[in-house]
């Protein structure tokens, strides 16, 4: 029989072993919040009772670790994160597998994420570098520690917000609620946890890294899409507006001949389709990176 909250959380963690780390983090946070709240209420109503006396009754009402773990697995099996649900089932032809990407919301959402990544990367990097510089510069003063604590808390908040954005647009399961903070944990213990937990520093590294990734993603996809649209629009620009068509290869500029325009249109369609596939593929890769850096290490 479970006697303490920590023992229940440990057993629940064992039952969820092998599940998605984000699911484990959410399950542990939900359980801890419920148990801590119910425990505080029960102890206030019965001053002479101890945690070992109250926890078994709370666990009986809440459910055993096995039952809760099974419930979370069933819930995750029914729900797909963000736009992660497949829009087509069953066998598909080669033609559909290639051009059907335009009907896949995951590809469009990933493309949107990569276009937005430049703006988010600039915002994250600016905040991280400014906060880090200010915190380090003020550490010699009495206000240095509070500033550093507030900055690191904001980084944890950014990590949660970015996780929600990643799940919504890239379809990768991320934590859906912030970690529960036990009110009985001492102030200095909370400060110590903030400085010693891996996720604080990996989230800070993610904020700094996102600028470089954002520049790369934005440049890559805007360049590919711009080139593809340029090729596709050649019949309109050349025949309707009488504009010359130029193709730049390296440092040399070539004027496209009229008979080559249909081939360039086909090339543009293929390039645009391949870009959509690339966005979907890279979305999975970036989602895996975000999960590695923005999910609590205790949930792994």
List Cα–Cα distances, 255 to 160, 175, 192, 247, 260, in angstroms: 50, 52, 65, 6, 10
Which residues pair with residue 248 across a beta bridge? 253
Which residues pair with residue 255 across a beta bridge? 246
CA 13-19-20 angle, to 5 degrees, is 110
Q: How would you class 11 by CB atoms within 10 Å of its CB: exposed for 0-12, middle for 13-18, buried for 19 or more?
A: middle
| Nearest in space to 235 (alpha carbons), one of 200, 259, 207, 210 | 259
In a structure prediction context, what are the per-residue pLDDT tens digits for the chain, which is 300 residues long?
788 888 999 999 999 988 888 899 889 989 988 988 888 888 887 777 788 888 889 998 999 999 999 999 888 877 766 655 555 555 677 877 889 899 999 999 999 999 999 999 999 999 999 999 999 998 888 888 899 999 999 999 999 999 999 999 999 999 888 765 555 566 777 788 888 889 999 999 999 999 999 999 999 999 999 999 988 988 887 666 666 666 656 556 555 656 677 888 899 999 999 999 999 999 999 999 999 999 976 655
CA–CA separation, 213 and 32 (whole Å): 36
- At residue 19, the pLDDT reads 87
Measured in whole angstroms, the distance separating CA 166 from the mean position of its chain's CA atoms is 3
CA–CA separation, 189 and 67 (whole Å): 32
The domain segmentation of the chain, as residue ranges, is: 1-79, 101-300
Which residue is it, tokens 């609620």? 177
């Amino acid at each position: 029989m479970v006697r303490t909250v920590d023992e229940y959380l440990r057993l629940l963690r064992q039952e969820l072993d092998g599940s998605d780390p984000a699911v484990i983090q959410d399950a542990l946070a939900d359980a801890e919040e419920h148990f801590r709240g119910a425990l505080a209420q029960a102890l206030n109503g019965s001053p002479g009772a101890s945690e070992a006396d109250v926890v078994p009754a709370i666990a009986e009402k809440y459910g055993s670790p096995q039952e809760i773990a099974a419930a979370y697995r069933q819930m995750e099996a029914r729900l797909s994160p963000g736009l992660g649900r497949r829009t087509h089932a069953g066998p598909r032809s080669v033609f559909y597998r290639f051009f059907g990407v335009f009907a896949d919301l995951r590809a469009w959402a990933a493309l949107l994420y990569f276009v937005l990544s430049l703006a988010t990367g600039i915002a994250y990097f600016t905040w991280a570098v400014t906060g880090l510089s200010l915190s380090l510069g003020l550490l010699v003063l009495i206000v240095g520690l509070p500033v550093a604590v507030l900055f690191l808390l904001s980084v944890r908040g950014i990590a949660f917000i970015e996780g929600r954005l990643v799940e919504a647009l890239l379809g990768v399961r991320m934590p859906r609620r912030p970690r529960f903070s036990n009110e009985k944990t001492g102030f200095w213990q909370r400060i110590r946890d903030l400085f010693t937990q891996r996720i604080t520093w990996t989230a800070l590294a993610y904020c700094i890294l996102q600028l470089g990734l954002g520049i790369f993603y934005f440049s890559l996809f805007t360049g590919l899409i711009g080139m593809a649209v340029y090729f596709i629009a050649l019949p309109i620009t050349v025949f309707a507006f009488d504009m010359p068509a130029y193709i730049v290869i390296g440092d040399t500029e070539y004027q496209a001949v009229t008979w080559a325009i249909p081939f360039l249109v086909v090339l543009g369609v293929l390039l645009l389709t391949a870009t959509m596939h690339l966005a979907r593929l890279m979305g999975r890769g970036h989602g895996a990176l975000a999960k590695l850096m923005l999910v609590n290490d205790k949930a792994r």
